Copies of this chain bind each other. A is one copy, B any other.
Amino acid sequence: MVKQERAARTRRSLVLAAAEEFDRGGYEGATLNRICQAAGISVGALSFHFRTKDALADAVQEEGMSLTRDVVRQVAAIDRPPLQAAVAVTTELAGLLEESTLVRATARLAVERTDVAKTWASAWVPTVEYLLREAKHNGLRPGTDPSVVAVLATYLVAGAQAHIRHPKATECARPLRAGEHDSDTSTERLNRLWDIALRGIRADGEENNAAPR
């Protein structure tokens, strides 16, 4: 029993160390040596848990996908208008990407291992698309195509990802700051972008310029 617990704990350390390594160097750049070192495990002991780099990458992606799906499910379950819910899914994902090495590694591995893995988008885009279809007669301005808004959502999340990974790649002269706060989280940034984009997308965009939160 104790032995099983210890094995589970070691496996967990390995997955987290692998996520760090994949997030930083990608699939090609990651080395099993560094992963073992970070997890405090000998390379010999590694093979008890994972036989290959592929097996480690699979485990990271499995956990990252499941974490993403959980967050999406929780955010979508809150009772609110569907357009607000769709926007909230994207802003929560921006926060998740910022905070979770597992999720960042999962998104990165998904584009590097297109042959073996599901896209990270498949863990959340269907929910956003569903919510936006629901919003067609309940929140979206008449004539707004929900599928165009869905693509906008995927571009904005890609932008958030680019910003988190390489802040300079999306750097503007004047940083966006939320009021007097010194910090500017990815969630806040994305909310400010939706603020202005939604004014023309929401049915009541004219009356209320604040983005739904």
A residues with CB within 8 A of B: 26, 28-29, 107, 110-111, 114, 119-121, 125-126, 129, 141, 143-145, 147-152, 154-163, 165-166, 168-174, 176, 189, 192-193, 195-201, 205-206, 209
**SS class, residues of chain A in contact with chain B:** helix
List 22 A–B pairs whose Cβ atoms lie within 8 Å, in order of A's numbering: A28-B29, A111-B169, A114-B168, A119-B166, A119-B168, A125-B173, A126-B173, A129-B173, A145-B196, A147-B172, A147-B173, A148-B192, A151-B176, A152-B196, A154-B169, A155-B162, A155-B193, A157-B159, A158-B159, A158-B169, A196-B197, A197-B200
Q: How close is A196's CB to chain B, nearest CB, in angstroms? A: 6
Q: How close is A140's CB to chain B, nearest CB, in angstroms? A: 10
Cα A185 to Cα B141 in complex, Å, equals 26
B155 touches A170 (CB 8 A): yes
* Identical copies of this chain, number: 2
Cα A193 to Cα B154 in complex, Å, equals 11
Cα A165 to Cα B169 in complex, Å, equals 16
B159 touches A110 (CB 8 A): no
Known pairs A28-B29, A125-B171, A151-B192 / 4 extra A-B pairs, C-beta < 8 Å = A147-B174, A147-B176, A148-B192, A151-B193
A155 touches B154 (CB 8 A): no
A-B pairs with lowest CB-CB distance, top 6? A155-B159, A199-B200, A200-B200, A158-B162, A154-B170, A158-B159
A199 touches B196 (CB 8 A): no
A156 in contact with B154 given A129-B172, A148-B176 (CB within 8 Å): no
Q: Which residue of B lies closest to A120 (CB)?
A: B169
Q: How close is A184's CB to chain B, nearest CB, in angstroms? A: 10
Residues of B within 8 A of A26 (CB): 26
B148 touches A196 (CB 8 A): yes
